[in-house]
Amino acid sequence: MPLTGAEVAKHNSRESCWVIVHGKAYDVTEFLPEHPGGPKIILKYAGKDATEEFEPIHPPDTLDKFLDHAKHLGEVDMNTVEKEAKEESAEEKERQERIKRMPILEQCYNLMDFEAVARGVMKKTAWAYYSSGADDEITMRENHSAFHKIWFRPRILVDVEKIDFTTSMLGTKVDIPFYVTATALGKLGHHEGEVVLTRSAKKHNVVQMIPTLASCSFDEIMDAAEGDQVQWMQLYVNKDREITKKIVQHAEKRGCKGLFITVDAPQLGRREKDMRSKFTDTGSNVQAGSQTDNSQGAARAISSFIDPALSWKDILWFQSITKMPIILKGVQRVEDVIRAIESGVQGVVLSNHGGRQLDFARSGIEVLAEVMPVLRERGWEDRIEIYVDGGVRRATDIIKALCLGAKGVGIGRPFLYAMSAYGQPGVDRAIQLLKDEMEMGMRLIGCSSVDQLNPTLVDTRGLSMHTTSVPSDTLGLSIYDPLVSPKEKAKL
Amino acid sequence: MPLTGAEVAKHNSRESCWVIVHGKAYDVTEFLPEHPGGPKIILKYAGKDATEEFEPIHPPDTLDKFLDHAKHLGEVDMNTVEKEAKEESAEEKERQERIKRMPILEQCYNLMDFEAVARGVMKKTAWAYYSSGADDEITMRENHSAFHKIWFRPRILVDVEKIDFTTSMLGTKVDIPFYVTATALGKLGHHEGEVVLTRSAKKHNVVQMIPTLASCSFDEIMDAAEGDQVQWMQLYVNKDREITKKIVQHAEKRGCKGLFITVDAPQLGRREKDMRSKFTDTGSNVQAGSQTDNSQGAARAISSFIDPALSWKDILWFQSITKMPIILKGVQRVEDVIRAIESGVQGVVLSNHGGRQLDFARSGIEVLAEVMPVLRERGWEDRIEIYVDGGVRRATDIIKALCLGAKGVGIGRPFLYAMSAYGQPGVDRAIQLLKDEMEMGMRLIGCSSVDQLNPTLVDTRGLSMHTTSVPSDTLGLSIYDPLVSPKEKAKL
Amino acid sequence: MPLTGAEVAKHNSRESCWVIVHGKAYDVTEFLPEHPGGPKIILKYAGKDATEEFEPIHPPDTLDKFLDHAKHLGEVDMNTVEKEAKEESAEEKERQERIKRMPILEQCYNLMDFEAVARGVMKKTAWAYYSSGADDEITMRENHSAFHKIWFRPRILVDVEKIDFTTSMLGTKVDIPFYVTATALGKLGHHEGEVVLTRSAKKHNVVQMIPTLASCSFDEIMDAAEGDQVQWMQLYVNKDREITKKIVQHAEKRGCKGLFITVDAPQLGRREKDMRSKFTDTGSNVQAGSQTDNSQGAARAISSFIDPALSWKDILWFQSITKMPIILKGVQRVEDVIRAIESGVQGVVLSNHGGRQLDFARSGIEVLAEVMPVLRERGWEDRIEIYVDGGVRRATDIIKALCLGAKGVGIGRPFLYAMSAYGQPGVDRAIQLLKDEMEMGMRLIGCSSVDQLNPTLVDTRGLSMHTTSVPSDTLGLSIYDPLVSPKEKAKL
Amino acid sequence: MPLTGAEVAKHNSRESCWVIVHGKAYDVTEFLPEHPGGPKIILKYAGKDATEEFEPIHPPDTLDKFLDHAKHLGEVDMNTVEKEAKEESAEEKERQERIKRMPILEQCYNLMDFEAVARGVMKKTAWAYYSSGADDEITMRENHSAFHKIWFRPRILVDVEKIDFTTSMLGTKVDIPFYVTATALGKLGHHEGEVVLTRSAKKHNVVQMIPTLASCSFDEIMDAAEGDQVQWMQLYVNKDREITKKIVQHAEKRGCKGLFITVDAPQLGRREKDMRSKFTDTGSNVQAGSQTDNSQGAARAISSFIDPALSWKDILWFQSITKMPIILKGVQRVEDVIRAIESGVQGVVLSNHGGRQLDFARSGIEVLAEVMPVLRERGWEDRIEIYVDGGVRRATDIIKALCLGAKGVGIGRPFLYAMSAYGQPGVDRAIQLLKDEMEMGMRLIGCSSVDQLNPTLVDTRGLSMHTTSVPSDTLGLSIYDPLVSPKEKAKL
């Protein structure tokens, strides 16, 4: 006989804390102190239905995996659970209003447009999680900005009637030189989560990299693949290597074609925009003083298992437990690319984790411009596949990366935004727009296939100049009258 | 007996689609799928008078050339055609109001001023077509901005009482070292179209380059020339070389003195501002998904004939079919200038198509600064005439180009804006302002004739530095109190 | 018997045009076409009293000098002249209101502050004349901005108790290393004109340079000097060398100690802000077409006599007619400084005429940084006195110029603004502020006298980099949410 | 018998001026002309209670030290002193309102956040004193901005599980490589003054540097230390060396572990923002003319004793009177670091006094990048401890300084702001945030202890480029239509 809402409701305290998720009750009293997101957020739902909050940030197998089965209390008769009269906040009402008037999909002409729409229609906390970066978000913005420092030197009078921008990545033939990179918590943006991206990737024949911190479970995402669709796996390495081993070997068995080990995140970043979005103005603890708050946003809550001790020697171990190609994701300087090659891995992703980890880390594209000349000097440029992610928004960005020597680029946030705003049609259109731009860009730079892209087609002299202007002359500027255009006649 | 409006009105569907243009009816049912601008825009006028929409973007001989004569249905009694009660949009009303109060011509003191006025008084879609650029419009803006990175090193104490800034271009003596470059769809801005520019060019003794995509027909523009007025022809090369040959030989026969082959446009650019301006909020096709829209603005609609396979070997062919000097328009790096010289053409225009093709292409003036030292090293600087276009707004810009080695510059948009706002008097004043500025500039730099202009008169060290500032410190800037000037006494 | 207002009033047309100035009538009918400012402005006062308009822009001896004495019609009984009921414009009323509430003098803490006050209380046209620059006013703004690119490398632990920043210029001992440079039309800002500056210069023991285009006559300004006060003369060279000779020799006889020949103004600049300020919205002449307007602001109206043929050979001639030291004002590159030294002149002013002549001319301070290393290499650094003007607003600017090798700097506009806002007390305070800043600056850079200032005390690496950022990523920036500071609690 | 308020109130003029401070009366008539802050500010309180104004800017022993004891008039019966009905200004009311709604401490996520809060809740004059800088405040802003020009080259795959960022400074082991640097007038921000910082420094095991110009007395601050807490002393050298000697030897006797001699302030800076904040709109003295005002803000009022004659030879003398390590605070170029080493001092602080002295002095971090390569070339890098202060706001800033070779950094203003807004809990949280950031930063750069930090981990190529953009193209920019995101559907 199922439990009733009333029974569950009694266990609404730190001393005895039950919660309902997807129609089942769980006793999480003992789990409270271990919860990576802190006990506070669970206690908010003590004795209540927590499904809506739980759903987007926990894969479906979470409770099975992490909560002792003795604490699984079984079915609840949901008809007996009191519906909370949720009062819609003014903010939420405005959002609902914006959703009603959101632009139609055809009005999105480029990848930035999806972001503009998503910002208006996503929940504030979801937007904050996706869009935030580390510290002052300087690196996050630099990532796209860096592409603006690379200019083209196009060739003319080349027959570009037929353009072929297919390429291969880790042995897989793809339609366009990018892959959908791993991003966490897809259900914050769309109720179906990462499988939406799986379907679009299939449709456009590009590779999807499956995130460790997905909202869907790994198997759900693999299951969503069709035919010979290729997927890769992104891995945060668990402190418990046995768990890691199990995950990796399971992925290999399921057919994953690449293991991308994240090496730029021994600890997940503090993202203040995300933290600030979580803040609710209840109670004051000025007294608390030096204790910093534990509720540091979604990212850190879900990442406590990551091993900060991961080091080069672990790479040998990985090579011993899997035959999948191993790629280091998050390499940030030429010395480490050389070491990666010497370690025998198959690839590196030059990346700063979308600007979400170390602020003032350089953009992947800048690191690429540092790396390739050194490799070419050694004749090593073909010993490894080099990818770049971060800030890619236009096909011209992809072309720039390939001119400089990348095999392909990873794109993450733009597809999350397209999915959050329009679901799969959004992602499909985003990819199609990239393909259209790619065809145009290849033609205009004078290359009919990706192997023709080379460093003489770009001018990167301004790329590595990290400088700012002398601080502005505020007095001087305020007394200068800017020039004006002709004035209209006065209104009568 | 002429057709009646009622008869035409019956054919208002995809199955049978008649339209009226200039008082004659045409059956375009079968033509619908072939229309470069897509069928949708025609269907909007099915059974109706389409003259107003048709006029500015089709030369008058279009229907004769492209629609089977069997489909020409003959005269319509226009008295029987129902006038559509066009409801003026709020936007249009505001525009009409702005036209009433537009500044008088004498208030325009420089070329930017015409643009400011034109923006207010032009139709939104026409403004969008003229003013838009590729992708993020970075290159479009860079074009003028690049001139701001070139500074003068003027000579003093040179007798500059008499200033002579005449020069010759492809053998033609001109009053000032610029030509009116080819720009499409002149009737969007002025009902007479490109012939307005022809008349101004004559008046001020400068050369006009006739655009392939003019609103007037080629012959109309040639006919508008007077006396020994010199005109050049800009050419988009048609996939059908027979058509191309006919066009070129006709131009030569009509007396054209230069053939400018566009080499930077194997495909016409996507200009999102233009596309966005066309968007009308009718119906939603979120379902349509991955299909990108066909109505991609005026540019692409009118350019589907352009041959993306055009290559160096075609240059030989052109040399075989015409005696006109051949100039490659849209060269973008020194390697291709060298090849152009080796190919025996008479000139190149260093140009990125006004920033309308490949975003992040460098400005013509920057390419010039790359090209000339290489040519001088080879002693090749006189083997070809080098022109630059893009971003020229001031006579000082012209002087900078000549100092760096250009024979002259092309100016396009500013004259379109002057024409759109004020008709021929606008264009005349624009040119006169350039002449006044030119005289002043020559004097102040200390040169009395254009052959004295040389590279020591300019400082170009900052020219090729394509960089951006470190992304702004948004938190830091927001907490800084800018300095303020003395405060007025309080009002009593 | 004096004329009556009624008699004068009859002559109110182009056919017969009389005007009253300072209580006397003049027949200017024949002079109309010769008037450097164009006939229109005179005709506005035909038959009327023109004193108020005439006064600030014509030295008092103008009519004597330029109008045939037969046209001097004699006294007018001013009681019979109808007072024009001048309707105060809304703009003027606001200005009067601002004057009432203007900050007191002690609120001005630096030279920019006077400019801020002056902008509010000056007449619009006067402000426009003083504050405007050539074309886009880029050079005008660069002049101050250039100093911001020079940074200090101060010495520490130097005894700076006693600071001596006196120096000598062309043999004259001065209290601080600047002079009041020549600026035109002082009465636009203050009814007494340039003599106000003369008095302040005396009080603070600095040299004043007397402008050719002063509102006061040359002799009035000389007469205002006291004791052994030293003055220099700025000279626009007249086409008629006899006039020039007379002026120069008169100046020498009156005791002028330096002849500053302006070499950067063969033609006076177009200053669009000034021109635009003159525009009045009366009548439309769209028809006029290609004719550019003659009313091009005050500057050009008063300068038609300047000889654009002035050249190096004239310098010899000047040396033959005067014993005054000759200084070339407006030198703009090292080649011409070398030639100046070879010509045997005593000094040069590296200047671009306050940004009022050639836009994109480099700042004087940048040219100084180009010049001195070349001179030092030749051992020529002491063969000439080098001055710099343009953009000096802080004592640190003066110190920077001296560190780089200048003998002193010229300061112009700031004193005009101080005078326009507060009269002589304003100018006095402005100079005193500079002296206070100078003492502080010398101490903090670790030098107790000006001869200790040297190039190792400044870092000029960024000085000559004329570049702009890549055009802004407008889409990208608009979708970025800037970081925000902590939010206040909601208001209850 | 105590004095009555009425008796004191009679002495309310320049002729006889008594004031009450902390319940005691003082006759300051003869002291008026000597008061460093000028007589005006005292006269405002003649015959009245001046405690509130006196308190924050005078250490408690001031009257004992500087006013002849004969002028100490003894106790006042404060019940007889008339309370001034202080009318709260509108400004003050708004401030009180802001205090009520101030964000709670947990909303501060970084050091800038405290500044944002403090700006809202501090008194205007206190804020102006803390936040102001020299002249145009360019150097003040550059200090933080300079860190933004340094980018990371992080290492990956290093075991960073255990992070140790303790270090030692002048022999003292500290928990994190910064010290609380000396800042003046702590009671302007918090009624307890500098001892608040002492307590926080103890709690987090960092060193506090005691300022000469503290609001608390030196002994009060020493007394507030607990256990083996280490403090240093900042010294402005008095003209009277006997006083200086007494101060230094007293500090040594009290256990101070470092003597930081300020060498960048022979005269305290003019800070116009501070001066402007003091201005009150009473009376006009336009007549006063050239006299600059004496009330130049708090800084200069309290600093007239500082000896501008301090020079290298004094360093020898200091070495003879104390055994404390001597550190020169305010060194600004490599030549002087070398001389400091040769002089045998133990350390230098590369500093520009928080941008409060010489505007356009370079940032300490930039000077560090100039200094270290020269020292390393000589093998001198370990002969001295090098500190940097100015603009440190993030742990990444600290890491950058250490990578470049600094032993540690000084942080000043941020703790003042934290203290002003939230008292000691604010300072505690500020330090805790830095520790959290430090742990994260060390992990992400791939170093587990501070000795691993080295120059290859940073890219400083943009650091020393002091440049500004070409002045903006105001006309051009104003006529450019920025790109826009998709438009929402119209509201119905």
Q: Which of B327, B394, B392 is nearest to B363 (CA)?
A: B392
Kindly report the nearest CA distance between residue C470 and chain A, in angstroms. 7
Average pLDDT over residues A46-63: 85
CB-nearest to A432 from B101, B292, B473 is B292
Instruction: Check pLDDT > 60 for residue A280.
Output: no
By Cβ distance, the residue of D144, D273, D473 closest to B476 is D144
Reported as a pLDDT band with limits 50, 70 and 90, residue B336 is very high
**Residue C289 at interface with chain A, using a CB cutoff of 8 Å:** no
Q: Of A23, A50, A80, at which residue does a domain stop?
A: A80
Q: Which parts of A183-308 are beta strand (E)?
A: 208-210, 231-235, 259-262
In a domain, C314, yes or no: yes
Residue A395 resides in a domain: yes
Q: Residue D301 has what pLDDT? A: 57
Are the Cβ atoms of C470 and A144 closer than 8 angstroms? no
Whether B293 contacts chain C with CB within 8 A: no
B111 occurs within a structural domain: no
What average pLDDT score do residues B304-326 get? 95
Task: Given the residues B27, B129, B353, B428, select the one marked as catalytic.
Answer: B353
Mean pLDDT, rounded, of chain A: 91
Q: What is the mean pLDDT of residues B445-462?
A: 96
Helices (DSSP H) in B132-240: which residue ranges?
Answer: 138-147, 195-204, 218-223
> Both D202 and D270 in a single domain?
yes
Residues C46 and C142 in one domain: no
Q: Look at C32-36, C142-146, D478-482 and tell me which has the smallest mean pLDDT.
A: C32-36
- Asked if residue A330 and residue A435 are part of one domain, the reply reads yes
Decide: D222 and D290 in contact? Cβ < 8 Å: no
Is A294 a residue whose pLDDT tops 70? no
Amino acid B301: pLDDT: 58
- Mark residue B38 as left, alpha or beta (left: phi above 0; alpha: psi -120 to 50; beta: remaining): left
Determine the average pLDDT of the residues in B182-207.
96
Q: What residues of B are in contact with residue A150 (Cβ under 8 Å)?
A: 360, 466
C76, C223: one domain: no
Give the rounded percent of residues in chain D with a pLDDT score beyond 70. Answer: 93
Radius of gyration, CA atoms only, chain A: 25
Is B466 a residue of the active site? no
| Predicted local confidence at residue A35, as pLDDT | 80
In this complex, which of A105, A156, A456 lies closest to B286 when CB atoms are compared?
A: A105
Band the pLDDT of C30: cuts 50, 70, 90. confident
In this predicted model, what pLDDT tens digit does every residue of B356-415 receive, in sequence order? Answer: 999 999 999 999 999 999 999 999 999 999 999 999 999 999 999 999 999 999 999 999
DSSP H stretches of helix in B206-311:
218-223, 241-254, 272-278, 297-301
- Which chain D residues contact residue C394 at CB under 8 A? 135-136, 359
* Average per-residue pLDDT for chain D: 90
Interval A318-363: pLDDT, tens: 999 999 999 999 999 999 999 999 999 999 999 999 999 999 999 9
More confident position, C331 or D67: C331
Best mutation target among A284, A467, A483 (most C Cβ atoms within 10 Å) is A483
Cα distance between residue D276 and residue C440, in whole Å = 19
Q: Do B136 and D276 touch (CB under 8 A)?
A: no
Least confident piece of the model among A311-325, B333-347, C35-49: C35-49
Whether residues B314 and B455 share a domain: the answer is: yes
Adjacent-strand bridge partners of A349: A329, A387
Q: Are residues A341 and A416 in the same domain?
A: yes
Q: Does C475 lie at the interface with A, CB-CB under 8 angstroms? A: yes
D356-391 pLDDT, tens per residue? 999 999 999 999 999 999 999 999 999 999 999 999
Same domain, B218 and B142: yes
Are A478 and B485 an interchain contact pair (Cβ–Cβ within 8 Å)?
yes
Chains that touch D (3 or more CB pairs under 8 A): A, B, C
Q: Reply yes or no on whether the pLDDT at C231 is more than 60.
A: yes
Q: Residue range D189-205: average pLDDT?
A: 97
Rounded mean pLDDT of chain B? 90
**Annotated catalytic residue within C27, C264, C336, C359:** C264
pLDDT in tens, A385-428: 999 999 999 999 999 999 999 999 999 999 999 999 999 999 99
Hey, which of A481-490, B77-86, C183-192, D251-260 has the most confident mean pLDDT?
A: D251-260
Give the model's confidence band at C331: pLDDT under 50 very low, under 70 low, under 90 confident, else very high. Answer: very high
In this prediction, residue B278 has a pLDDT band, given cuts at 50, 70 and 90, of confident
Over 50: is that where the pLDDT of B490 sits?
yes
- pLDDT for B59: 79
Distance from CA of D292 to the nearest CA of C (A): 7
Find the CB nearest A152 among B98, B293, B360: B360
Chain A residues whose CB is inside 8 A of the B371 CB are: none
pLDDT at D195: 97
Residue D291 within any structural domain of the chain: no
Chain D nearest-CA distance from C479, in A, is 8
Residues within 8 A of B (CB atoms), C 37-66 only: none
Position B389 in a domain: yes
What whole-number distance in Å separates Cα of residue B110 and Cα of residue A299? 55
- Would you place residue D300 in the very low, low, confident or very high pLDDT band (cuts 50, 70, 90)? low
The pLDDT, as a whole number, for residue B286 is: 32
Residues of A marked active site are found at 236, 264, 353
Least confident of A133-137, B299-303, C64-68: B299-303
The more confident residue out of B1 and B388 is B388
Tens of pLDDT, residue by residue over A258-278, are: 999 999 999 888 899 888 887
Distance (Å, whole) CA A195 – CA D470: 50
CATH number for A138: 3.20.20.70
Among residues B21, B45, B80, which one ends one of the domains? B80
Do A327 and A205 sit in the same domain of this protein?
yes
> Per-residue pLDDT averaged across C313-320, rounded?
97
User: Does residue A136 or residue B288 have the better pLDDT?
Assistant: A136
**pLDDT tens digits for range D108-149:** 999 999 999 999 999 998 999 999 999 999 999 999 999 999
Name chain B contacts of A159, Cβ cutoff 8 Å: 308-311
Q: What ipTM, to 2 d.p.?
A: 0.89
User: Which among A152, A220, A19 has a CA at the least distance from the CA of A461?
Assistant: A152
**pLDDT exceeding 90 applies to what percent of chain D?**
72
Do the beta carbons of residue B453 and residue C283 sit within 8 Å? no
- Split at pLDDT 50, 70, 90, the class of B452 is very high
User: Percentage of chain C surpassing pLDDT 90?
Assistant: 72
B152 and C332 within 8 Å at the Cβ level: the answer is yes
Residue D92 included in any domain: no
Optimal mutation site among D107, D112, D286, interface B, most CBs of chain B within 10 A: D112
Q: Is residue B475 part of a domain?
A: no
pLDDT value at position C492?
A: 61
When mean pLDDT is compared over B21-35, C140-154, C471-485, the highest value belongs to C140-154
Higher pLDDT pick, A318 / B81: A318
Q: Determine the 3-state secondary structure of B102 from DSSP.
A: coil
**Which pLDDT score, from 0 to 100, does residue B314 have?**
97
Give me the catalytic one of C58, C144, C190, C353. Answer: C353
Same domain, D43 and D131: no
pLDDT at C411 over 70: yes
What is the domain count for chain D? 2
Lowest mean pLDDT among A8-17, B220-229, B428-437, C299-308: C299-308
CA distance A385 to A260: 12
Which chains have 3 or more CB–CB distances shorter than 8 Å to chain B?
A, C, D
Catalytic residue among C236, C387, C417, C422: C236
B475 touches chain D (CB under 8 A): yes
- C281 near A CB under 8 A: yes
pLDDT confidence band for A242 (50 / 70 / 90): very high
Residue D68 has pLDDT above 90, yes or no: no
d(CA C417, nearest CA chain B) in Å: 14
- The more confident residue out of B231 and C32 is B231
From D80, D105, D140, the end of a domain falls on: D80
Question: Are the Cβ atoms of A110 and C137 closer than 8 angstroms?
Answer: no
Run of H or E residues at A178: strand A178-180
Q: Does the pLDDT of residue A296 top 60, yes or no?
A: no
CB contact under 8 A, D466 and C467: no
Nearest to C485 among B154, B462, B475 (CB): B475
Region A459-473: mean pLDDT is 88
The answer on pLDDT for D285 being more than 80 is: no
CATH of the domain at D24: 3.10.120.10
pLDDT tens-place string over residues D238-263: 999 999 999 999 999 999 999 999 99
Taking Cα atoms as reference points, which of A138, B479, A38 lies closest to residue D108?
B479
Cross-chain CB nearest to D112 (options B476, B481, B483): B476
Put simply, whether A483 touches C (Cβ < 8 Å) is yes
- Cβ–Cβ below 8 Å for D264 and C136: no
> Whole-angstrom Cα distance, residue D384 to residue D400?
19
Question: Which is catalytic among the residues D49, D113, D264, D274?
Answer: D264
The answer to whether the Cβ–Cβ distance between D290 and C160 falls below 8 Å is no
**Whether residue A377 has pLDDT greater than 50:** yes
Q: Which of D26, D353, D389, D422 is catalytic?
A: D353
CB pair distance less than 8 Å for A275 and D475: no
- Check if B264 is active-site: yes
Same domain as B39, residue B163: no
pLDDT of A293 above 70: no
Choose the mutation target among C105, C138, C444 for the interface with D, i.e. most D CBs under 10 Å.
C444
What Rg do the C-alpha atoms of chain C give, in angstroms? 25
Computed from CA positions of residues C402, C407, C413, C417, in that sequence, does the dihedral angle turn out positive or negative? positive
> Is it the case that residue A181 has pLDDT exceeding 50?
yes
Whole-angstrom distance, CA of residue B114 vs CA of residue B103: 10
A428 interfaces chain C, CB cutoff of 8 Å: no
Q: With bands split at pLDDT 50, 70 and 90, how would you rate the model's confidence at A58?
A: confident
Find the radius of gyration of the CA atoms of chain B. Answer: 25
Residue A283 binned pLDDT confidence (cut-offs 50, 70, 90): very low
Over 60: is that where the pLDDT of B297 sits?
no
Q: Looking at beta carbons, which residues of chain C come within 8 Å of B489?
A: 100-103
Q: Say if residues D355 and D274 touch (Cβ distance below 8 Å).
A: no
Q: Is residue D135 part of a domain?
A: yes
Q: Are residues D133 and D73 in the same domain?
A: no
D307:C161 CB<8 A: yes
CA–CA min distance B51, chain C (Å): 30
Residues C20, C6: Cα–Cα separation, whole Å: 12
Q: What b/e sequence results for A206-227 when a residue is b if at least 16 CB atoms lie within 10 Å of its CB, and e otherwise?
A: bbbbbbbbbbbbbebbbebbee
Q: From CA B462, how far away is CA B455, in angstroms rounded?
A: 15
Contacting subunits of C (3+ beta carbon pairs below 8 A) = A, B, D
* Highest mean pLDDT (candidates A71-85, B437-451, C65-79): B437-451
Q: Residue B132: which domain range?
A: 126-269+299-459
- Which of D137, D462, D489 minimises the CB distance to B483? D137
For residues A259 and A399, state if they share a domain.
Answer: yes
